[in-house]
């Protein structure tokens, strides 16, 4: 119970941080001009010394976008990955576009049920622009196994103006994963607060085809005044160790 209280306090702190806004009133009304970016923070596998690959297709009304990531889950609870996201493969694309990211996170295990993940994701727009855009998303995520079939997580984040499409923002991330069949079928729901290009919710059903190969399907739901669209999601995870 003591550790559950710690997780709850940290999550509430994240909610409090979300009320802080660095934007002027005019920036509140600004909308993103790009489809919602898929900056994912949930670990693909909890196993150490594992290589992971992910490919995901997001189908919007304006076009279809591809996200690709390769990562390594190192020892001592470190995780690293490289990703290329928001690359349009179908639709009215006039030139190559996409965003490249380097991601790093460290997990601190409080006990068997509670862990705290501190991470950062930094990247560049692949399209040449002046000035060159630099993306930054830094977060603290508290993950708590309520029961063997229910995981909840939440915490604060800070994202710079280049990434949000409006201004520097502080908000919160939260979500849950419900396991219907152990190591086989689960439902994952995540939410990013705010009214910018990262804001909104995703709901995915995950199915393990084998112990190391997983597919998922779902939907991306934009937040109000984010300038984003609804999208269908189809993705695959491949790991050198069980997922």
The answer to whether residue 28 scores a pLDDT higher than 90 is: no
The answer to whether residue 17 scores a pLDDT higher than 70 is: no
The answer to whether residue 21 scores a pLDDT higher than 60 is: no
Q: What is the mean pLDDT of residues 146-163?
A: 95
Instruction: Tell me what pLDDT residue 95 has.
Output: 62
- What is the tens place of the pLDDT at every residue in 101-148? 999 999 999 999 999 999 999 998 877 666 778 999 999 999 999 999
Instruction: Tell me what pLDDT residue 33 has.
Output: 44
- In this structure, the chain runs to a length of 243
- What is the tens place of the pLDDT at every residue in 173-217? 999 999 999 999 999 999 999 988 889 999 999 999 999 999 999
- What is the tens place of the pLDDT at every residue in 71-107? 999 999 999 999 999 888 888 776 667 889 999 999 9
Percentage of residues of the chain with pLDDT beyond 90: 61
Instruction: Tell me what pLDDT residue 142 has.
Output: 96
Overall pTM surpassing 0.95 (yes/no): no
Question: What is the residue-averaged pLDDT of the chain?
Answer: 84
**Rounded-to-integer distance, Cα 54 and Cα 37, Å:** 15
The answer to whether residue 6 scores a pLDDT higher than 60 is: no
**Banded pLDDT at 3 (limits 50, 70, 90):** very low
Residue 127 DSSP SS3: coil
Instruction: Tell me what pLDDT residue 35 has.
Output: 54
Instruction: Tell me what pLDDT residue 24 has.
Output: 30
Specify the range with the lowest mean pLDDT, choosing from 41-50, 89-98, 160-169, 213-222.
Answer: 89-98
Cβ–Cβ under 8 Å, residues 170 and 187:
no
Sheet strands (E) in the chain: 50-59, 63-73, 78-91, 99-109, 114-125, 134-147, 150-159, 169-181, 185-192, 200-208, 213-222, 231-239
Judging by beta carbons within 10 Å of its beta carbon (0-12, 13-18, 19+), is residue 94 exposed, middle or buried? Answer: exposed
């Amino acid at each position: 119970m003591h550790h559950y209280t710690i997780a709850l306090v940290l999550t509430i702190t994240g909610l409090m941080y979300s009320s802080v806004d660095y934007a002027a009133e005019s920036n509140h009304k600004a909308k993103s001009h790009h489809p919602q970016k898929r900056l994912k923070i949930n670990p693909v596998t909890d196993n150490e010394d594992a290589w992971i690959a992910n490919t995901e297709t997001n189908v919007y009304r304006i076009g279809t976008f591809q996200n690709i990531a390769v990562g390594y889950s190192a020892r001592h609870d470190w995780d690293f990955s490289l990703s290329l996201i928001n690359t349009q493969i179908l639709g009215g694309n006039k030139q190559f576009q996409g965003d490249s990211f380097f991601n790093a996170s460290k997990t601190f295990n409080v006990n068997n049920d509670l862990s705290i993940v501190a991470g950062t994701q930094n990247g560049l727009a692949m399209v040449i622009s002046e000035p060159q855009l630099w993306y930054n998303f830094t977060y603290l995520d508290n993950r708590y196994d309520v029961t063997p079939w229910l995981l909840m997580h939440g915490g604060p984040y800070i994202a710079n103006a280049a990434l949000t499409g409006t201004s520097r923002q502080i908000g919160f991330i939260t979500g849950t994963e419900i396991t219907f069949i152990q190591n086989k079928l689960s439902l994952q729901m995540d939410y990013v607060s705010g009214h910018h290009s990262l804001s909104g919710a995703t709901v995915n059903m995950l199915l393990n085809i084998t112990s190391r190969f997983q597919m998922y399907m779902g939907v991306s739901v934009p937040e109000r005044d984010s300038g984003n669209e609804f999208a269908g999601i189809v993705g695959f995870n491949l790991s050198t160790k069980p997922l």
